[in-house]
Structure formats: structure tokens, C-alpha cells
Amino acid sequence: MNSHPEINGERLLARLDMFAKIGATPGGGVNRQALTPGDREARALLTRLAKARSFSVFQDDAANLFIRMEGRDGSQPPLLIGSHLDSQPSGGRFDGALGTLTAFEVLESLADAGVEPERPVEVVAWTNEEGCRFAPGCMGSRAFVEGKIPAEWADLRASDDGARFEDERLSTIDALAADSSHRRLGFPVAAYLELHIEQGPSLESEEIPIGIVTGVQGTRWLEVAFEGQTAHAGTTALQYRRDPLKALTMGLSALYAGVMPENADARFTVGRIAVAPGSVNAIPATASCTIDLRHPETAVLDRLEDDIRSGLTEAAARENVSVAIRKTVDMEPVTFSSDMVAALQAAAQKAGLPTKTMISGAFHDALFVAGCAPSAMIFVPCRDGLSHNEAEYVKPEDSVTGARMFLASVLELLPRA
């Protein structure tokens, strides 16, 4: 038989529930950070589901996981579809998982309908998209595009338990070695398509079920380290203090008051802060924080980064402490292929789905894959724009509508790609 493929909504929603149990948190979210046992369990489950449908499974040296459906012409580069399975420490159940399971649902719906695609279609689960346990994020797609593991990752250690990235990478690959074939890192791809929750409020508030993403804003991560002098809290008068936390606090408060109000498209976030020695009655010796800065325009990012550096440097000088600022991530803004965007718009029209074109506020693996293949993204609404939060939520009907849009897009792309 060769019927018209259709999304099995109940199956997709059941799969979402299955994966949400892996690393489930009391608050209803998931903690399935990259290369942890939870992440491996999710990879193993997806592999079992793939083998049950006799799709072939591959891993590369970045522990990226591929599930392949053969096409009429196996020599053609595949259409690559997918997302990631890792999460934030207190993350939601949809970020990454929805895109990966939607792509797998599309593969199954094609198989259910007995469709033999023009070219191979492969589902991918990229390694460490979140970047919270090992920085930077999107390691899997970065390595895929570069065709190798960057040398500087060899010494990386986990922010939580100090585990070595190298060890965790190899153990994760080994855990599935028996059920998968090895695949070299980086291969020709016809096109890449990724579905994700918006992680912002606009689709929900405008009641539009589908976002067609035309690009991704740029992201920069800074590590800020102030160093002063610890001393007794009770005896050290103001003029004798060199307090690095005071410098950090005064510097950050000016940035909080300035950066985002003055630039509506800017995103300024301090996600980590720490002091040492960390004693209630001792002035700290050091104070450090991270800064996550985003904007759709490189020129504005440059200016904001300059403002941040000068603001923190002046704050350090005022408190007679030193400051070191290190850039750990610098992701340029990306504009997706106009052909891909046009294909998605055509698919939406055929499916009769209202859409909105938009810029992604978050970075995604598609941002990197765009460096080696035409790429694009589809967004679905999430409640209150909440993400990286246990309360992250997508209405079942929105997940199913997104999958229908994703299937229509795949059918639109297969002959074109």
C-alpha cells in the first residue's frame, strides 16, 4: 500500500510522555543534562523505537545519534530532520524532545503509509545543545559541521560533577555501540529542518499555531571575574575595603538598568554568580558571574559588549579591584536559506495553516547546520513563552499541528532538496 502519510497524534503525545519520564523532576520538568545517565537513557529509548521499525541507527564521534529511513536513491545525501534530547538542569519536557520526537513521528508516518521517499530521510538527536553542563552549547552540530571534535574540548569538565567531557562522550557512544553503526563525523546533507517550541510569548499571544523562522539572533557568553581582598566584615572600614562583590553588584546594576530597556531586541541575563571564600562575616576575595547577551544584529552586539566591558571595568576601578572578562561563546546572527523559507510557506499554504515569520531568540543546532546545508526551523507556541523551566508547556493540539506542518514541509522539501 502507498496511502497519503498522516501524523499519528496520539502516538506522538504518548512518546512525549514516555520521554518526559526520563530525568523527570518533582516540579513536572526534566533534568536530563548532556551525556548524563538520563541523556543516555533517552538515546537508548529512541534507538529501541527505531529498531522496532527496522530503521538503521548510527552514531558519530560527537555522539550525535542518527536514525535513517532509506530512499529511492540511497546515494543521494539525506534530508536531515531533528533536534536534541538533552535538557537544562531544571528544564521543560518539550525543549528538544518535541523536535526530535516530531521528526521521528514523521519517519514513522512515512513508513506507515509505505512511502518510499526520493532520498533518504534521517532523524538526528544532536549532542549537548543546551551547553549548561559543558559549554559551549550545540556541541554535536558544531562538530558535525567542522567534521571533527575541536581540540579545546578535550580538557572540558562538567559544571556539575566535574566529569571530563572526553570520558562522558566516549561512555555515551559505548552505551549504544552494540545497537548502532559508527558513522564518520560530518557528511553531505541535502537540507536540515528542525521543529522547536518558540520559547517566547509571541505565537501564543497572537494565536498563530506555526512560526516560520527566518534566522537566529546572535549570542555571546562572557565570564566575568573580579578579584579584590578578603578581610574581616566587622572591623574593616569602608576606606580599607577592596570588595569584589560590591564592584560586581554596582557594575551589574547599571547594566540591568541600561542594556535591555534601551535595546528592545537585546537580551541581557546573568545566570550564574559566585563568591569566594563565601563566609558570612568575611568580605569576599573574588566575585564572578556569567553574562548571556543576545541581539539580531552583530553591530549592536559589538556595541553592547563594549558597554558591558567598559561598565564592569569602571566599576572595578572604583572599588580598587581587578576584573577579567573572557568571551566563551560568540555566535553570529544567522539568516536561513530563502528557498527553505519559501518551501515552508508553500507547505503551510497546502496544509492550510496560518503562520508567522520570525527571528529565533534562542540559538539552536539549525544555526550551525546552516553552515553546511540549507536549513530552516518551525516554531510552535508554548505557554507564557516559558522555557528552561519545569513549567514549560505546549498544548497537545499545538504539538500535533506542529507535526502536521513538519510532515507537510518534509513532503515539500523531498523533491526540491
CB of 275 to a second copy, least distance (A): 6
In the complex, what is the shortest distance from the CB of residue 51 to a second copy, in angstroms, rounded to a whole number?
34
Cell of 278: 563565601
Q: Which is nearer to a second copy, 156 or 373 (CB)?
A: 156
Q: What nine digits make up the cell of 34?
A: 548532556
Which three cell numbers mark 315?
566599576
Calculate the CA 117 to chain-centre distance. Answer: 28
95 among the known binding-site residues?
yes
Minimum separation from the CB atom of position 159 to a second copy (A):
8
One-letter amino acid for residue 54 of the chain: S
Q: From the CB of 147, what's the least distance to a second copy, in Å?
A: 26
Find out whether the peptide bond into 277 is cis, omega within 30 degrees of 0.
yes
Annotation-wise, does 388 bind a ligand? yes
Query: Is 167 annotated for ligand binding?
Result: no
Helix (H) or strand (E) holding 81: strand 79-84
Gyration radius (Cα) of the chain, Å? 23
Kindly report the length of the chain: 417
* Number of neighbours of residue 184 by Cβ within 10 angstroms: 9
Return the number of the residue (2 or 281) whose C-beta is nearest a second copy.
Answer: 281
Smallest gap from Cβ 56 to a second copy, in A, equals: 34
Other CB atoms within 10 A of residue 115 CB: 18
**CB closer to a second copy, 168 vs 243:** 243
39 is in an annotated binding site: no
Q: Which is nearer to a second copy, 279 or 349 (CB)?
A: 279
Q: How many CA atoms lie within 13 A of 237 on its CB side?
A: 1
Report d(CA 228, CA 133) in Å as an integer: 28
Nearer of residues 274 and 317 to a second copy, judged by Cβ: 274
Is the link from the previous residue into 136 a cis peptide, with omega within 30 of 0? yes
Cβ 26 to a second copy shortest distance, Å: 13
Contact 364, 138 (CB under 8 A): yes
User: Judged by CB, which is closer to a second copy: 58, or 363?
Assistant: 363
- List the grid coordinates of 358: 520570525
In this structure, which amino acid lies at residue 164? Answer: R
Shorter beta-carbon distance to a second copy: residue 71 or 296: 296
98 within 8 A of 399, measured Cβ to Cβ:
yes
Q: How far apart are CA 416 and CA 72, in angstroms?
A: 15
DSSP 3-state assignment of 84? strand
Q: Which residue, among 26, 13, 10, has the nearest Cα to 391 in the 3D structure?
A: 26
Shortest Cβ distance from residue 58 to a second copy (Å)?
29
Q: Check if the beta carbon of residue 140 is closer than 8 Å to that of residue 84.
A: yes
Indicate the residue type of 345: Q
**Torsion sign (Cα): 33, 37, 39, 42:** negative
Which residue, 48 or 318, is less far from a second copy as judged by CB? 318
Cell match 559508527: residue?
182
Minimum CB separation of residue 380 from a second copy in Å reads 13
Is there a binding annotation on residue 196?
yes
Q: Which CB atom, from 88 or from 109, has the smaller least distance to a second copy?
A: 88
Residue 377 C-beta: closest distance to a second copy, Å: 13
Which residues define the annotated binding site?
Answer: 84, 95, 130, 196, 388
Which residues define the annotated binding site for Zn(2+)?
Answer: 84, 95, 130, 196, 388
